[in-house]
Structure 1
Amino acid sequence: MTTIHLFAGQGSQRVGMGRQLLAAYPNLVRQADEVLGYSVAELCVHGPAERLADTRFTQPAVYVVDALSYVDTVRTTGVIPDLVAGHSLGEYAALFAAGAYDFRTGLEIVARRAALMADAGPGAMAAVIGLDEMRVRDLLRDAGRDVDIANLNAPDQIVVSGPVEAVASVTPLLSAHADTVVRLPVSGAFHSRQMASAAREFDRFLRGYVFARLKIPVIANTTARPYDGDTASTLVRQLTQPVRWSETVGHCLDQPDPQLHEIGPGTVLTGLTRRIRAARSAAVA
């Protein structure tokens, strides 16, 4: 059996998340408050929702809940996973679980990432349901706009990202071919070329950190394969390159007797895993 933990990313947040965890681990919560300069428990449990949805606050809050969820899961089950992965922001909690850094250091890095992504300027993202990657790429190329594929969440669920006007202009074209196109409630063009300036600043910031050797294999979003040892560069590339989540889960499912467990708030990744499993089964039927 291969125990695999999948860590939730941005979009899984909700007011009230982590209530019991935040109360159960006061020492870690105190560290988080010192790093952030505000009460993370107050934000997670009481919101308001508008603040929790702001990237500057969303990313640290989800990281904290992810990390505490992992600590609590290992403490209560006594089982350390054989493999870990995280969706976008969730990759930072996966690296914490694998021993790349301690809880506080991971939060410092996430908080800086969140600020840089928020400062990168306005942008938009939209989920395209019912088309595969190649079809979406063909349509974007035909449209000739600065819109990139940001997330390959499932074989038929692709997220595109770019300037607000560009995403708005390609939406009718995508909608004409897809089952549906849904604008996501974000204010930035994450995992696209629009994050290039943030990536350069993040690269400089990460040079101040030394990452420990991983104790558990971590599957990288950008490659859907285990980290090759260059943690900082991999994290920098993640800002501008697509999250290859469908391939990541596929790699996990190829392990001997894989047991996948979602860690963190919500069940978004569990739903995506079902879609990916179903697509794989249909492909071999």
Structure 2
Amino acid sequence: MLFAGQGSQHKGMGAEVFARYPGLVAFASDLLGYDLAALCTENPDGLLSRTEYTQPAIFVVNALHGFEHTHREDRRADCYLGHSLGEYNALLAAGVFDFETGLRLVAKRGELMAAASDGGMAAVLGSSEEHVLKVLADHGVDGVDIAGLNTPSQLVIAATPPVLAAALDCLEEAGIRATRLRVSAPFHSRYMEPARVRFAEFLTGFTFAEPATPVVSNVTARPHRAPETARLLAEQLVAPVRWTDCVRSLLDPDDPLEFTEIGGTALTRMVHTITSGG
């Protein structure tokens, strides 16, 4: 089972499940200090696009859809995998922490990431990590981090504003397609180190169980283990999302991969690209 992350939010999200889980929705609203259902279905003042609101909203909606799917299908997945923020839903589904703990973690994570600034990100299409880094090096552009490896031909870069602008200019000159992402900071890069330090301190107040079902870490592309969970969740803020490696770790030539995505369709498209060798 795959869980989508930030970017999957949209006005109206969760409307179909909120009424079936009124207790959890009310609990989440009380914990967060605002009406979560109204935020998701009405998006007042465009708040749903702000990271500190986006992340708790996605976490709750993903969780409810995950509960719904498990109850409807009457079976659990063999493995859980989430993209960035979605990894928290994967850990929740695997019993590493409960709903309240997950929501507290995500609310703090969103707060710290929203406080970060002075940078941006861009999606780079049709080129490998090695080629992109070589082009940047050849043009003398320094300070760009690979923030995500979504497919063999789709990656994400992050940097400060002037460095990102220079990187986009030289990629365009080299004939490489790149598009700025609508984010407020260079997530999953060295520039999130202050947030990582603060989040690591926050995580010391929590205890994490061993996953009842394997959860593949975005940082290592290997299954989570309880002693490492806190460190990996903090590290995730500064490390690239190794989505391609995560998916490849689940592939077996003798057993075709079957999966369900919770929260969108973007991950499904990525998985099809990875499994087809594209």
Q: Report TM bin, short chain.
A: over 0.9
CA contact (8 A) 1:129 1:158 kept: yes
Match of 2:61 in 1: 65
Aligned length: 275
Q: 1:33 aligns with which of 22, 29, 32?
A: 29
Of stretches 172-181 and 51-60 in structure 1, the one that deviates more from structure 2 is: 172-181
Residue 147 in 1 paired to residue 159 in 2?
no
Q: Which amino acid aligns with 2:229?
A: T
Shift of 1:132: 0.6
- The TM-score normalised by the length of structure 2 is 0.95
Q: Distance in 2 between matches of 1:125 and 1:50?
A: 21
Match of 1:200 in 2: 197
Residues 24, 177 of structure 1: CA spacing in aligned structure 2 closer, same or farther, 3 A cutoff?
A: farther
Q: Distance in 2 between matches of 1:48 and 1:180?
A: 34
**Which one has more relative contact order, counting CA pairs under 8 Å at least 6 apart?**
1
Q: How does 1:261-272 map to 2 (within 5 A)?
A: 261-264=260-263, 266-272=264-270
Q: Distance in 1 between matches of 2:11 and 2:251?
A: 32
| 3-state SS of 1:279 partner | coil
| 3-state SS of 2:124 partner | strand
CA contact (8 A) 1:14 1:49 kept: no
Q: Give the unaligned 5+ runs of structure 1.
A: 281-285
Q: How does 1:136-215 map to 2 (within 5 A)?
A: 136-142=132-138, 143-215=140-212
Q: Distance in 2 between matches of 1:48 and 1:96?
A: 28
Q: Which amino acid aligns with 1:261?
A: T
CA contact (8 A) 2:141 2:167 kept: no
Q: 1:44 aligns with which of 3, 20, 40?
A: 40
- The TM-score normalised by the length of structure 1 is 0.93
Of stretches 45-54 and 143-152 in structure 1, the one that deviates more from structure 2 is: 45-54
Q: Distance in 1 between matches of 2:70 and 2:172?
A: 44
Residues 147, 53 of structure 1: CA spacing in aligned structure 2 closer, same or farther, 3 A cutoff?
A: same
Residue 79 in 1 paired to residue 75 in 2?
yes
| 3-state SS of 1:17 partner | coil
Residue 219 in 1 paired to residue 219 in 2?
no
| 3-state SS of 2:8 partner | coil
Q: Distance in 2 between matches of 1:176 and 1:227?
A: 41
RMSD between aligned residues: 1.4
Residues 178, 246 of structure 1: CA spacing in aligned structure 2 closer, same or farther, 3 A cutoff?
A: farther
Of stretches 166-175 and 137-146 in structure 1, the one that deviates more from structure 2 is: 137-146
